[in-house]
Structure 1
Amino acid sequence: MLIAGAFAAGELAEPVVPAPHLLAPLLAGLVLALAGLVTREVPRGVNQACQAALGILVGSYLSPVSIQRAGADLLPLALVTAVTIMLSLGAAGVMTRLGHLDRASATLGMVAGGSAAVVATARDLDADGRVVALLQYLRVLIVAGSAPLLVQWILMPSATGRLLDADHELGPVVAAHHQGVGLVMLGAVALAGALIGRAVRLPSPVLLGPMLLTAALTAGGVAEGFAPTGSLRTILFTVIGLDIGLRFTRPALGRVVRLLPLAVTCTVTISAACALLAWLLAGVSHIPLADAYLATTPGGINAVLSTAVSTHADISLISSTQSLRLFTMILLAPLLIRLSARRSPRHAG
Structure 2
Amino acid sequence: MGTAGGILFFLMHLPLPWMLGALFATMAAAVGGAPVTAPARLRPVVVAVIGVLLGARFTPEVATQASVWLGTVAVLMAYVVAVALVVVPFYHRFGRMDWTTAYFAGMPGGLSEMIEIGEANGAKPAPIILAHSLRIVITIALIAFWFRFVQGQDVGAASGPPQLALSWVDAAVLLGCAVAGSVLGKRLHLPAPTFLGPMALSAALHLTGLTHSAPPPLLVTAAQVILGTVLGCRFQGIGAAVLLRAVGLSLAATALTLMLASGAGLAMRAVAGVGVDQAILALAPGGLTEMGLVALAIHADVAFVALHHVVRILFVILLAPLAYRALAGGSLGR
Q: What's the TM-score bracket when you normalise by the shorter of the two chains? A: 0.7 to 0.9
* Cα 1:325–1:103 shift into 2, 3 Å: farther
Whichever residue aligns with residue 167 of structure 1, its letter is A
Q: Which residue of 2 aligns with 1:56?
A: 52
Give the alignment of 1:34-53 within 5 angstroms.
34-42=31-39, 44-53=40-49
Residue 297 of structure 1 pairs with residue 280 of structure 2: yes
Q: Deviations for 1:45-99, whole angstroms, at most 9, x for unmatched residues?
A: 201111222222232232231442x5xxx65553134303431342144323321
Give the alignment of 1:71-150 within 5 angstroms.
75-100=67-92, 105-107=105-107, 110=108, 122-123=111-112, 126=115, 130-146=130-146
Whichever residue aligns with residue 24 of structure 2, its letter is L
What is the CA–CA distance in structure 1 between the aligned matches of 2:57 and 2:197, rounded to whole Å? 15
Contact 2:84 2:106 in 1 (8 A): yes
What is the CA–CA distance in structure 1 between the aligned matches of 2:319 and 2:140, rounded to whole Å? 26
Contact 2:265 2:280 in 1 (8 A): yes
Computed over aligned residues only, the root mean square deviation of the Cα atoms, in angstroms, reads 3.6
What is the CA–CA distance in structure 1 between the aligned matches of 2:189 and 2:158, rounded to whole Å? 36
Deviates further, 261-270 or 188-197? 261-270
Match of 2:174 among 165, 169, 186: 186
What is the CA–CA distance in structure 2 between the aligned matches of 1:268 and 1:301, rounded to whole Å? 20
Q: Which residue of 2 aligns with 1:274?
A: 265
What is the CA–CA distance in structure 2 between the aligned matches of 1:25 and 1:94, rounded to whole Å? 32
Unaligned runs of 5+ in 1: 112-117, 153-161, 309-317
Contact 1:10 1:22 in 2 (8 A): no
Q: Which residue of 2 aligns with 1:9?
A: 8
Counterpart of 1:37 in 2: which secondary structure?
coil
Give the alignment of 1:161-176 within 5 angstroms.
163-165=153-155, 167=157, 175-176=163-164
What is the CA–CA distance in structure 2 between the aligned matches of 1:304 and 1:56, rounded to whole Å? 15
Contact 2:54 2:292 in 1 (8 A): no
Give the alignment of 1:234-253 within 5 angstroms.
234-248=221-235, 249-250=238-239, 251-252=242-243
TM-score of the pair, normalised by structure 1: 0.70
Aligned residues: 297
Deviates further, 248-257 or 23-32? 248-257
Shift of 1:333: 0.7
* Cα 1:274–1:142 shift into 2, 3 Å: farther
Whichever residue aligns with residue 269 of structure 1, its letter is L
What is the CA–CA distance in structure 2 between the aligned matches of 1:324 and 1:90, rounded to whole Å? 21
Residue 262 of structure 1 pairs with residue 286 of structure 2: no
Contact 1:59 1:327 in 2 (8 A): no
Q: Deviations for 1:15-59, whole angstroms, at most 9, x for unmatched residues?
A: 24x3333322211111111122233222x3201111222222232
Q: Which residue of 1 aligns with 2:310?
A: 330
* Cα 1:298–1:103 shift into 2, 3 Å: farther
Residue 232 of structure 1 pairs with residue 213 of structure 2: no
What is the CA–CA distance in structure 2 between the aligned matches of 1:104 and 1:223, rounded to whole Å? 41
Contact 2:2 2:25 in 1 (8 A): no
Counterpart of 1:29 in 2: which secondary structure?
helix
Amino-acid identity (%)? 19
Q: Deviations for 1:260-291, whole angstroms, at most 9, x for unmatched residues?
A: 2232122123224413542x34xxx7x5xxx7
